[in-house]
Amino acid sequence: MRLDSTRVLVTGGAGFIGSALCERLLGDGHRVVCADNFSTGRQANIAHLLTEPGFQLLTQDVVEPFDVPGPLDQIFHLASPASPVDYQRLPLETLRTGSAGTDNVLALARAKNARFLLASTSEVYGDPLEHPQPETYLGNVNTVGPRSVYDEAKRYAEAVTFAYHRAYGTDVAIARIFNTFGPRMRLNDGRVVPNFIAQALDGRPFSINGTGKQTRSLCYVDDMVDALVLLMRSPHRGPVNLGSTDEMAVLDIAGLIADQTGNPLRFTYAPLGQDDPERRRPDTRLAQRLLGWSPATGIPEGIAATISWFRTDLGSSR
């Protein structure tokens, strides 16, 4: 592949979505710098990229001010613990990454005159009182609840992103990412899909929090990467919701994984986590209109690809 002159920084590039994004940008012929502190990411996610001529790894905590020598045209800012298990284990790191970290990466974007894209989250809506959630919905976040370190870090990150744009004219965009799944999630990261796949591959019952009737809308990672690239290449600032509108009950997600793995459909029940949202579905009309994007991969197809990846990753023959 011939490399073009576009040089892109991906913070959090060793994580689940970040590593898929690095792969995609390299495939498009760009030069890619991945900055990561490996707090929740894995070397294994990017090991296959280290020999690519266009790929550079920078082991860096974005909470510390840093420079990337040379030009940068685009910055995708994904660095942040993202799963509830991670951000509850790393509460202060999560707040600092969203605040000081985002500020530092914006300062770099300003210095390099690069377009900056923030990976924000549906969690800025908290436990939403409006369904589905349009970008104009201002959210229902418990500022002192167990999820607040993540939700408020991302709300601050959105605020500082727009402040850089208003104060310095920095070219920015905000993607509000909804539940995304696929290969390279960690089996123990606490999110519903890897949780159920881990249980299914071990032949254990599926663990349900609450009634299991709460819904999630699951977007396959390749579709999410397409959306992030489209938003980066567009002139739009957003915030733009990115995700699937296919709302599925948690019980039905377990059913799908049971069918595909042959694990019998048995459940254990635990209480719903505090502030765990009951319903989660984006209004994605803006993404469709501005970017011409909607997810192309069906949930069963995405789940099948994810199970197959976990089987290989675990070296499992089950």
- Token pair, residue 5, equals 């002159």
The catalytic residue among 87, 125, 150, 164 is 150
Does 179 help bind ligand NAD (rule: CB under 6 A)?
A: yes
Binding part of the chain for ligand NAD, among 25-33, 57-65, 274-282, 304-312 by CB under 6 A, reads 57-65
Q: Which of 37, 148, 263, 297 binds ligand NAD (CB under 6 A)?
A: 37
- Token pair, residue 285, equals 């009309």
Q: Are 149 and 94 in contact (CB under 8 A)?
A: yes
Nearest approach in angstroms of CB 66 to ligand NAD is: 9
168 annotated active-site: no
What are phi and psi for residue 108, nearest 5 degrees? Answer: -65, -45
Q: Side chain identity at 247, as an amino acid letter?
A: E
Helical segments of 169-298, H only: 192-201, 221-233, 250-261, 285-291
Does 160 help bind ligand NAD (rule: CB under 6 A)?
A: no
Any idea which residue has 């690239």 for tokens?
A: 229
User: Which helix H or strand E contains 157, and what residues bound it?
Assistant: helix 148-168
Does 133 help bind ligand NAD (rule: CB under 6 A)?
A: no
What are phi and psi for residue 64, nearest 5 degrees? Answer: -90, 135
Residue nearer to ligand NAD on the CB measure, 9 or 201: 9
Q: Tell me the C-alpha distance between 117 and 74, whole Å.
A: 8
Residue nearer to ligand NAD on the CB measure, 164 or 181: 181
Binding part of the chain for ligand NAD, among 32-40, 163-171, 208-216, 278-286 by CB under 6 A, reads 32-40
User: Which helix H or strand E contains 300, and what residues bound it?
Assistant: helix 299-313
Residue nearer to ligand NAD on the CB measure, 65 or 169: 65
- Token pair, residue 169, equals 């004219």
Does 135 help bind ligand NAD (rule: CB under 6 A)?
A: no
What are phi and psi for residue 76, nearest 5 degrees? Answer: -100, 120
Binding part of the chain for ligand NAD, among 58-66, 159-167, 206-214, 250-258 by CB under 6 A, reads 58-66
* Nearest residue to 78 via CA among 32, 47, 111, 113: 32
| Residues 82-111 close enough to bind ligand NAD by CB under 6 A | 82, 86, 97, 101
DSSP 117: E
Residue nearer to ligand NAD on the CB measure, 54 or 183: 183
Nearest approach in angstroms of CB 266 to ligand NAD is: 26
Q: What is the phi-psi region of residue 138: left when phi exceeds 0, alpha when psi lies from -120 to 50, beta otherwise?
A: alpha
| Residues 63-82 close enough to bind ligand NAD by CB under 6 A | 63, 78-82
Q: Are 164 and 172 in contact (CB under 8 A)?
A: yes
Does 18 help bind ligand NAD (rule: CB under 6 A)?
A: yes
Residue nearer to ligand NAD on the CB measure, 36 or 223: 36
Does 12 help bind ligand NAD (rule: CB under 6 A)?
A: yes
Residue nearer to ligand NAD on the CB measure, 121 or 261: 121
Binding site for ligand NAD (CB under 6 A): 11-12, 14-18, 36-41, 61-63, 78-82, 86, 97, 101, 119, 121, 177, 179-180
Give the residue numbers marked as catalytic: 150
